[in-house]
Structure 1
Amino acid sequence: MILSYLGVAIFGYLMGSVPYGLLLTRLAGLGDIRSIGSGNIGATNVLRTGNKKLAAATLLLDALKGFVAVMVVKLAWHHGVLVTGIAAVLGHLFPVWLRFKGGKGVATGLGAFYGMIWPLGVICCAIWLLVAFTLRYSSLSALIAYAVAPVAALLLDGPLAAEAVLIISALVFWKHKPNIQRLLRGEEPRIGGKAAA
C-alpha cells in the first residue's frame, strides 16, 4: 500500500512538473518567460508577453496536467486520487527540472479539482472567472476560489477530500504571499497590467 501511494505521488509530481509556459514561450521564440514580468512560468506571466493565444494554451495545459494525472490514477486505483492531486500541484510549484522554482499552482490545482470532484472544479473556476472579470486581479481571483475550495469539498465529498483540498489551497496561498502583501498595499497589478516581482 505504501509503495502504491509512493508510485502515484511520483507519477502526479512528474506530470505536474512539466513547465508548459516556459516550453511554449521558448518554442514561440519569446525567450525565457522567467526573465520577464513576475518571472513566473504560469499563464498570467505568459500573458505579459502580449501573446494571448500562448497564455490560453499555457492555462489549458497547466490545468490538463493536473486533471490527466488524477484521472489516470482514478481509473487505475481510486484510493490514490487525492495523493495524486496534491503531488501534481507540488510538481508545478517545485519542478525538479527548474531547480524547484515553478509556478503558483492555480491552474494545475483547478485541473486536479476537476479530476478529484468535478463539481468542485466548476465552482472554483466560476468564482475565479467572476472575480477576474469584475475586479481584474488574477491573484485575488485565485485566492478567493481557493479559500472556498476546502469548504466546498467538505460539502461535496466529505472530510478526507476536504483535507486534501485544504493542503492544495494552503500551498497556493503560500505561493501567493507576495501578491497578498501587494493587494493589502494596493500595489497589485491588474490583469493586463505591468507585473510586480
Structure 2
Amino acid sequence: MYLELIGLYVYSYLAGSIPTPYIIAKVVKGIDLRQYGSGNVGGSNVIQQLGKGWVAPLALVEFLLKGLSPVVLGFILRASPLFLIAPLLALAGNNWSVFLRFQGGRGLMVVCGMLIALVPLLFVIGIAVYLIGWRISRSSAVWALTAVGLLPIIAFVTGGYLVVDWLGLLAGLSGETLTPVPLGEVVGISWFCLVILVIVILKRTLSNSMAFPMEMSKRKVLFNRVFRDRDFDDRTAWLSRGPE
C-alpha cells in the first residue's frame, strides 16, 4: 500500500510539473512565457500571447493529466484517504515545476480537473460563482480567488448531500432514500479545499519572481498579487510586458 502511494505521489508531482503552456509557447511562437505578459506559465498568458485557439488543447492536458488522473488512479489503486495528497502534489508541481526551476502557473485548470473527478457538484457551484462574478465585474482574478475561497465553506455547510455523495443525490432524485456521507468525509473534503486555497494564495504571493517594482511599496505589490494576480495597478501595462 505504501509503495503504491509513494508511486502515486511521484507520478502526480511529475505529471503536474509538465509545463504544457511553456511547451506550447516554445513550439508555436518560440517564446518563453515567463518573459512575456503576466509571466504566468498558464492558460491566461497563453491566450494573451498565442490566442484563444490554444486553450482547448491546453485545457485537455491540464484537466485530464494533471487534475483528473491522480484522483482516478487513487480510486483504481483503492488507496487510503491519503491518496488525496496526490492531486495536491499535482497542483504543486504545476505551480512549482521541477522542469522550470520551480516556476509555473497558477493551477486553476488543474483545480477544475481534480474537482470534476472528486466532487463534481462542488465544481459546478464554484464555476458558477466565478462566471457570475466575472460577468458582473469582468475581474477574473478576484472572482477566481473568491470561488476557490468559498469551496471549503460550501463543502462543509452542504455536507454529503451535495458535495461527496453525488451519486446518492441522483438516487434521491429518483425516489430512493438519500443518506449523507459520514461527517468525517465531509470535513476531509473541506480541509482538502482549504489546502487548495492556501496553495493558490501562496503561488499568487510568490509569483514567479520575488523581485518587486522599485516604484511601488511591497505592501501594495503583495495586495495586487493576491487579489489582482499582478504586480501593477495598470492591467494593460502588466499584460504588455516583454523581455527586459
TM-score by length of 1: 0.86
Match of 1:72 in 2: 73
Over 3 Å counting, the alpha-carbon distance change for 1:135 and 1:194 in structure 2 is farther
AA aligned to 2:78 is W
Q: Is residue 13–residue 86 contact of structure 2 (8 Å, CA) maintained in 1?
A: yes
Trace 1:1-197 onto structure 2 (pairs within 5 A). Answer: 1-64=1-64, 65-79=66-80, 80-154=82-156, 155=159, 156-157=163-164, 158-177=186-205, 181-182=223-224, 183=227, 187=233, 189=235, 193-195=236-238
CA contact (8 A) 1:19 1:41 kept: yes
Return 5+ residue gaps in structure 2 as ranges: 165-185, 208-220
Larger radius of gyration: 2
Q: What TM-score comes out, normalization by structure 2 length?
A: 0.70
Classify 1:186/1:100 alpha carbon distance in 2 versus 1 (closer, same or farther; 3 Å): closer
Structure 2 residue identity aligned to 1:120: L
Shift of 1:194: 4.8
Measured in 2, the distance between the counterparts of 1:100 and 1:41 equals 11
Preserved contact between residue 22 and residue 33 of structure 2 (Cα < 8 Å): yes
**Aligned residue-pair number:** 194
CA distance in 2 between counterparts of 1:172 and 1:113 reads 15
- What is the Cα deviation at residue 115 of structure 1? 1.4
* 8 Å CA contact 2:29, 2:50 repeated in 1: no
> Per the alignment, in what secondary structure is the counterpart of residue 48 of structure 1?
helix
8 Å Cα contact 1:82/1:161 also seen in 2: no
Give 5+ residue unaligned stretches, structure 1.
Answer: none
Q: Which amino acid aligns with 2:87?
A: G
Q: Deviations over 1:139-196 (max 9, x none)?
A: 112101110111223322301121122111111012223786124799263xxx5536
Range that drifts further, 127-136 or 100-109: 127-136
Say if 2:5 and 2:83, in contact at 8 Å, map to a contact too.
Answer: no
What is the CA-CA distance between 1:92 and the residue it aligns to? 0.5
